[in-house]
Amino acid sequence: MNVNMFKAGDNVHDYDDQSLERTLPAVEELRLPPDFAWGTATAAYQIEGAAFEDGKGKSIWDTFTHLEPSRTNGENADVTCDHYRLMEEDVELMASYGVDVYRFSIAWTRIIPLGGRNDPINEKGIAFYNRLIDYLLKKHIVPVATLYHWDAPQGIYDRYGTFFNTAEFQADFEHYARLCFSRFGDRVKKWITFNEPYIISIFGHHSGLLAPGRSTATEGDSRTEPWRVGHTLILAHTAAVRAYATDFQSTQNGSISIVLNGHWYEPWDATSEIHRLAAQRRLEFYIGWFGDPIFLGKDYPTSMRAQLGSRLPEFTSEELELLRQSAPINSFYGMNHYTTKYARALPDPPADDDCTGNVEEGPINSEGKFSGPVTGMSWLRVTPAGFRKLLNWVWHRYQRPIIVTENGCPCPGESEMTLEQALDDQFRIRYFGLYLDAISHAIYKDGVMVEGYYVWSLMDNFEWSAGYGPRYGITHVNFKTFIRTPKRSAAYLRESFKNRRGARHT
């Protein structure tokens, strides 16, 4: 899940369903390619539960959610959706939705409880993911596995600080990745190394909103740590990609890449060159930070080098060569996207801990116009036109087929709704329809290669620092009884993909 702010805003109800219809009228509906894949997405920590059972070790999120005072609304994911016990029921649910693909993450500490390359392996954890993969295939659902979705082993965090020791983390992550390739790669044909390295770096090591909760205010260093963490993630990704290409790809015939999140940015004042440049710079600090080294095999964007100077780590000549060799192996671009913001260039020099490119971002432009109708989260507004623009920006910059690996929203006020109200999620249906229209137009009118769309999320779950407040699922979950109930959006997606996939437009 791509996060920005972890609480609903004060203006959650500034648009109702009728104004949403008026504000964002439908565009021409185009069909999607016949081989376009639709799927659902989840993350291990958010749904599995069984946090300390069957040999699973502690992750940094297990630690973070038990801090006193609480930094996660007094809630944790020790049990959450209880997917560890209810896995078959959840796969059956997906099958009933007509899902092609299920993107899930593997909990590193469920298969290597302490995390390190010399630490014991937990066969019970491996057995769980084998059962999941086999059951998905039995139901004709393609498994897509994410190796890391924010839940680093506490064991290696205690041992050497995880991302702060690049060589150690790179070696441990490669060992973990190789274990997954060897045990699951005969059936898993699409791999994702890291989910949203931007969030790991900034929200985990700049603002401290996410585990491990580091910032200047919590004994960290927001000036330097995010850039060190990002550098480590890029090199660890590249090591795993090289390992897969060298020792597994030829026999397993799969593909591997990374998932980058990002908003689209419009200039706060479209008539001003300063703000137009700010929007571009914000995209480079957000997406280009990771995309340029990984997909282009080159150094960080020049805008980052110019502002950050020595705070931005240098790649050695050997590392740059490895990036160049590995770039073509990243065979798709995983895109997590939710919304559009306005980018306003700040008039003063950047603060020492600035991570935006000296840009202020927000939902309102210089004319007082909102970017779009607000959802159940104040930072997430319905902005399908920006989504289409981002698809174009990524395609033209990186020339990789795009898979939308996360997209979705909570309905306004959904967390306070009755069950009957929550199931009738017309706002979410409208959001999905508009964003699917943006994809079809990007494909057929702009020539962008988009191969799939995975909704966030299969079910309501533990939404990180927001706890159980926001509900993004197309399936309602009662967190006391664990009863799953399909929302109307699930039926909408099933019928929409059934009817929209067909012959390509010319």
Q: Are 184 and 194 in contact (CB under 8 A)?
A: no
| The two structure tokens encoding residue 487 | 């929302």
Catalytic annotation on 219? no
SS3 labels along 392-425:
HHHHHHHCCCEEEEECCCCCCCHHHCCHHHHHCC
| The two structure tokens encoding residue 98 | 């007509």
Pairing label, strands 101-105, 37-41: parallel
Catalytic annotation on 68? no
Q: Are 410 and 456 in contact (CB under 8 A)?
A: no
Catalytic residue among 168, 284, 406, 463: 406
SS3 labels along 245-276:
HHHCHHHHCCEEEEEEECCEEEECCCCCHHHH
Residue 52's φ and ψ, nearest 5 degrees, are -130, 30
Residues 6+ apart with CB under 8 A from 302: none
Catalytic residue among 48, 168, 174, 196: 196
Cα 141 to chain centroid, rounded: 20
Q: Measured between alpha carbons, how far is 452 from 447 in angstroms, rounded to an integer?
A: 15
Q: Measured between alpha carbons, how far is 410 from 457 in angstroms, rounded to an integer?
A: 10
Separate counts of helices (H) and strands (E) for the chain:
19, 13
Q: Measured between alpha carbons, how far is 496 from 501 in angstroms, rounded to an integer?
A: 8
Residue 291 burial (C-beta neighbours within 10 Å; 0-12, 13-18, 19+): buried
Residues 6+ apart with CB under 8 A from 468: 73, 75, 460, 462, 479
For residue 62, give the nearest of 157, 129, 146 by alpha carbon.
157
Q: Measured between alpha carbons, how far is 74 from 76 in angstroms, rounded to an integer?
A: 7
| The two structure tokens encoding residue 374 | 């607000």
Residues 6+ apart with CB under 8 A from 2: 196, 199, 261, 336, 337, 338, 406
3-state secondary structure of 307: helix
**How many CB atoms lie under 10 A from the CB of residue 463?**
24
| The two structure tokens encoding residue 124 | 């019970």
End-to-end CA distance of the chain: 35
SS3 labels along 467-479:
CCCCCCCCEEECC
Instruction: Tell me the catalytic residues.
Output: 196, 406
